[in-house]
Amino acid sequence: MKVLVVVVLVLVLVPLAWAGHELTFYPAFYPQEVSVRWVEPRAAAPLLRKNALHAYAGADPLAGAPSEKVRYAESLRGWVVLTFARPTGDAEARCAAGAALVRALGPRAPFVAHPWPVTPYHDDYVQQYDLVQRARERSAGAVPRVRAAGPLKSALTAAGVGVAPDAEAVVEEITLSSLLDGVETRLAGWHGPAWLKEGWFQAWLLEAPALPPAAREAAEETFRRRADGAPLPAAERVNLERRLVGQATAGCERVVLGYTLRHEALDDDYNEGVENIAVDSQAGVASPIFLRTVKLKDFPWNGWLHVGVEGGARSAWNPIAGFTDPAGRVIWAAVGDPALLLDPDNARFVPNRARVQSIEDAGSVPADALVPVAGELKPAGEGVAARTKIVYRSLLSNLHDGQPMTVADILYPYAFVSRWGVSGARTYDPEVERATAALRQALAAVRVVRVDTETRTVEELKLTYQVPLVEVYLKTAVDPRYAPALAPPWSPVPWPVMALMDQAVERGMAAFSEREARRRHLPWLDLVRDPKTGAALARLVSDFERRAWVPEALRGLVTPEQARQRWRALAEFHRRTGHFLLTAGPYQMGRVTPASATLPVFRDFTYPLGVGSFDQYAIPVRAYVRAVERRGDRLAVQADVENVEKAGRSYKIVREPFTPKPPGEATREALAVHWTVVGPGDEVVAAGASRDVQGGRLVVDLTGRVKPGLYRVILALALNGNLVNPEVTVVAYRAGG
């Protein structure tokens, strides 16, 4: 195989005389340093009051003692459910018991009453809105005796509901994070499953454990059909999702009473506070988008950001199956750079270091494409079939050890998962198998087409980037909304770190996952905080450098001399920093104490994204339906939109009638109306989203989409893609006949 030339990133300083005082590109994001401190809410309260914390990921430290200078970021925390231990009798009674509990609690309910698992914090809410309303109409039955604890117990007791430890039904909060534990993929730079934030998926995770076997079997079939990722007509897909949620909730073995919201504290002090904040609608502050937008008010950019996180930092710090607790998530969100980011305001992904150029039908896999097999990358040869080809641009940069990333760095993870994700192999970790199941099932081959040189001129700087164009071949046809997230060519850590972890685990020094570490009585691999493992890793690196060792998967991609150079750089990095968490992310691992980690920014001009790159995600805005007018077979939607007016260190949101923007005034996403047409039998006959603006109104064209009959059309507007807690409008629509 041809040896690919090492990709070199170049920063050229062109001696031009015309630069002004204003440099307009600063690599990485606003704060110059992020310190993450794991601290319980009670201890966080005084820190917030004296501006020693700017944000707190967790429960409100000031609950009951609000401060004027603290404001809150809201996100979905979980659901409050009534679960019957041994459901017997008719479902109707159980459903009615749930309604009775909510009625009994009334305004005392420490949650938002909402009788359906798909909530306004899911972007498929608009497609299930009618089902939510129907669930609201359930009549209340007898109030059951329940078990409960904490604030729920207090509220129930205050409402006169019998709370007893021997009751057969329990009222409890199930948090979203607990639901996704063991389900979410956060391995290396990959994030999944692709429908991670969608309501139907989370509803299934919530309800499935409470289903009796027969009901579960039937629902599982629906789930499998929906989750195979195949492209389906919108109405068929939506009907599958509605059916799944309907099947999962029909027996009322677990009745959703409502949902809870997380209110996370942010310092809003004029001088010491923070602004320009995006938080994920479901993950809240502990999400990558927060660190990529937050700005200290006293600094146009730069400054020292202090983030508190509830709970300790118990999980090991490794990018394969570590960073699993909130502190770990925040740290990895800063240090690791994923291929794609979750859109904070809907369920989709947005480009980060891997950017989709096109999605096409594959035809066949080129013979020189690489197929990951048992830890190697083998030429596909003739006859490998694929249905989908996704072409990506991967944004390389320098690593924190100063070495430029190469295509070997972004190809190695494919080999890695084929080595560690296959049950029965000598090298196997069940967590890697679980997290990469969808990828391994879908991936046919990968091919580096070429490496482009791209330049950016910033004042007197001419920045030159190397951008590989990579084709990823998938075995099946995949819904284009999900395809980019399945197997993007990217790695937040370079191949030497992946290979080092691989060798360390194979040699029994540690295990990637907590579960496997427990099973094998090994340390959970920690690249930063375990001195014993660190010393053992250092010995390995030294040996690899001496031998100029090239992992099997990279033979032909990396020469021994190139490998020696990378091992040498990694050894030097470890000597300098004391750890092996070498990445190409926007922040670097700095000083670590038993209670905190300090993460200095990586303002290296090879880093391709800059301060403000995600500004359009800060301060989400909404749109509202003012009026809907029927024009033949079309609905014309008149809208109001919110506009952010910034003022010094604050802003206000003003609501104004929608007028189309001129083409040059690009926004993150044009105003869209999401629509669902529901027939008399509650079946969805058509669904979609329209950005078609005619005469200042958004147009939903139903021509030829529905048969004669009476329908309900559910409408919700998304401005800048924001589908969080939308205002929903339902209009009656009679077609033909």
Partner 1 sequence: MAEVNRRDFLTGLGVSVGASLAALPGLPSVGVAHAQGTPKGNIPDHPYKIGHMTFFTGPAAVLGEPMFKGQQLAAEEINATGGLLGKRKIELLKADENAGTDANVKELRRLKLSEKIDFFCGITSSGNTPALGPVAEDLKCLTMFVDGCTDFLFDKAVPNPHYVFRTTNIQSADGITTALAIVQTWPKSKRIAHIHPDYSYGRNAFDHIKIVMKKMMPQAEVVSEGWPKLGTTDFSSHITKAISSKPDLVVSSVWGGDYVAMYKQALRYGMFQKAKFATTLALGVAPHALGKDHPEGVIAGVHSNYHFTYPGGDKWPLNKTFVEKYHARFNEYPNFQAEGAYTTTYMLKTAIEKANRLVGGWPDDDAIIAMLEGMMMAGPAGYVYIRPDNHQGYKDAMIGFSKNTDEYPFPILDPARIITIPIRSITAPPGWPKGEPTSTFTWIDKTWPTAKV
27 binds partner 1 (CB under 8 A): yes
Kindly tell me the sign of the dihedral angle through the C-alpha atoms of 140, 145, 149, 153.
positive
Cβ proximity to partner 1: between 4 and 719 the closer is: 719
Calpha distance 521→313 (Å, rounded): 20
Calpha distance 82→173 (Å, rounded): 9
What is the contact mask toward partner 1 in residues 60 to 89, using x (rule: CB under 8 A)?
Answer: ------------------------------
| Shortest CB 659 distance to partner 1, Å | 12
CA atoms within 13 A on the CB side of 560: 5
CA angle centred on 526, ends 406 and 507, rounded to 5°: 80
Amino acid identity of 180?
A: L
- Six-digit token string for 3: 């040896």
From 270, 374, 539, 654, residue interacting with partner 1 (rule: CB under 8 A): 270
Query: Which residue matches tokens 């009959």?
Result: 709
With residues binned 3-state (H G I as helix, E B as strand, rest as coil), the percentages for the chain, rounded to 5, are: 25, 30, 45
From 5, 19, 164, 654, residue interacting with partner 1 (rule: CB under 8 A): 19
Kindly tell me the sign of the dihedral angle through the C-alpha atoms of 244, 246, 249, 251.
negative
Cβ proximity to partner 1: between 85 and 270 the closer is: 270
Q: Is 280 helix (H, G, I), strand (E, B) or coil?
A: strand
Going by C-alpha positions, the residue among 261, 197, 274, 256 that lies closest to residue 59 is 261
Peptide bond just before 531 cis, omega within 30 deg: no
Calpha distance 404→69 (Å, rounded): 44
659 binds partner 1 (CB under 8 A): no
Size of the site for partner 1 (CB under 8 A): 52
Beta strand ranges found along 632-680 (DSSP E): 634-647, 650-657, 672-678
Going by C-alpha positions, the residue among 721, 714, 722 that lies closest to residue 126 is 714
For residue 322, the tally of other CB atoms under 10 A from its CB is: 24
Q: 211 Cβ partners below 8 Å, 6+ apart? A: 219, 248, 251, 253
- C-alpha torsion angle, residues 558, 561, 567, 573 (rounded to 10): -110
Only segment of 133-141, 245-253, 601-609, 704-712 that touches partner 1 (CB under 8 A): 601-609
What is the contact mask toward partner 1 in residues 687 to 726, using x (rule: CB under 8 A)?
Answer: ----------------------------------------
Cβ proximity to partner 1: between 508 and 663 the closer is: 663
What is the contact mask toward partner 1 in residues 450 to 479, using x (rule: CB under 8 A)?
Answer: ------xxxxxx------------------
From 68, 166, 361, 645, residue interacting with partner 1 (rule: CB under 8 A): 645
What is the contact mask toward partner 1 in residues 284 to 303, using x (rule: CB under 8 A)?
Answer: --------------xxxxxx
From 139, 157, 178, 271, residue interacting with partner 1 (rule: CB under 8 A): 271
| Shortest CB 639 distance to partner 1, Å | 20
Site for partner 1 in 88-107 (CB under 8 A): none
From 375, 404, 610, 688, residue interacting with partner 1 (rule: CB under 8 A): 610
449 binds partner 1 (CB under 8 A): no
- Six-digit token string for 725: 């807690």
First to last CA, the chain: 67
From 12, 23, 367, 535, residue interacting with partner 1 (rule: CB under 8 A): 23
- Six-digit token string for 682: 């509650």
| Shortest CB 663 distance to partner 1, Å | 8
Cβ proximity to partner 1: between 18 and 86 the closer is: 18
160 binds partner 1 (CB under 8 A): no
Cα separations in angstroms, 621 against 652, 662, 671: 11, 19, 11
Please give the full DSSP string across 559-594, using - where no structure is assigned: -HHHHHHHHHHHHHHHHHHSS-----SSB----EET
From 17, 65, 142, 732, residue interacting with partner 1 (rule: CB under 8 A): 17
- The conformation of residue 21, written as its DSSP 8-state character, comes to S
Q: Is 548 helix (H, G, I), strand (E, B) or coil?
A: coil
Only segment of 151-159, 162-170, 368-376, 613-621 that touches partner 1 (CB under 8 A): 613-621
Cβ proximity to partner 1: between 300 and 402 the closer is: 300
Cβ proximity to partner 1: between 17 and 142 the closer is: 17
Cβ proximity to partner 1: between 33 and 376 the closer is: 33
The answer to whether 293 touches 299, Cβ cutoff 8 Å, is no
From 515, 555, 603, 630, residue interacting with partner 1 (rule: CB under 8 A): 603
For residue 106, the tally of other CB atoms under 10 A from its CB is: 10
| Shortest CB 343 distance to partner 1, Å | 17
664 binds partner 1 (CB under 8 A): yes
- Six-digit token string for 60: 């409100």
656 binds partner 1 (CB under 8 A): no
From 4, 7, 32, 528, residue interacting with partner 1 (rule: CB under 8 A): 32
Cα separations in angstroms, 513 against 320, 447, 506: 8, 30, 13
From 18, 89, 521, 708, residue interacting with partner 1 (rule: CB under 8 A): 18
| Shortest CB 301 distance to partner 1, Å | 3
Please give the full DSSP string across 218-255, using - where no structure is assigned: HHHHHHHHHHT-----HHHHHHHHHHHHHHHHTT-SEE
Q: 30 Cβ partners below 8 Å, 6+ apart? A: 276, 293, 294, 295, 296, 299, 301, 302, 303, 305, 611, 612
Calpha distance 499→589 (Å, rounded): 20
Cβ proximity to partner 1: between 74 and 615 the closer is: 615
- Six-digit token string for 703: 């021509």
From 160, 383, 424, 662, residue interacting with partner 1 (rule: CB under 8 A): 662
| Shortest CB 317 distance to partner 1, Å | 24
| Shortest CB 644 distance to partner 1, Å | 11
CA angle centred on 466, ends 463 and 467, rounded to 5°: 120
From 434, 649, 705, 712, residue interacting with partner 1 (rule: CB under 8 A): 649
| Shortest CB 619 distance to partner 1, Å | 12
From 665, 681, 732, 736, residue interacting with partner 1 (rule: CB under 8 A): 665
| Shortest CB 566 distance to partner 1, Å | 24
647 binds partner 1 (CB under 8 A): yes
What is the contact mask toward partner 1 in residues 213 to 252, using x (rule: CB under 8 A)?
Answer: ----------------------------------------
From 74, 228, 479, 615, residue interacting with partner 1 (rule: CB under 8 A): 615
From 174, 563, 611, 677, residue interacting with partner 1 (rule: CB under 8 A): 611
Cβ proximity to partner 1: between 72 and 301 the closer is: 301
612 binds partner 1 (CB under 8 A): yes
| Shortest CB 733 distance to partner 1, Å | 37
Q: 150 Cβ partners below 8 Å, 6+ apart? A: none
Q: Is 179 helix (H, G, I), strand (E, B) or coil?
A: helix
Cβ proximity to partner 1: between 15 and 594 the closer is: 15
- 185 sits in which H/E element: none
Only segment of 142-150, 163-171, 367-375, 647-655 that touches partner 1 (CB under 8 A): 647-655
Cβ proximity to partner 1: between 142 and 647 the closer is: 647
Which chain residues interact with partner 1 by CB under 8 A? 16-27, 30, 32-33, 270-271, 298-303, 456-461, 600-601, 603-605, 610-613, 615-616, 645-650, 652, 662-666
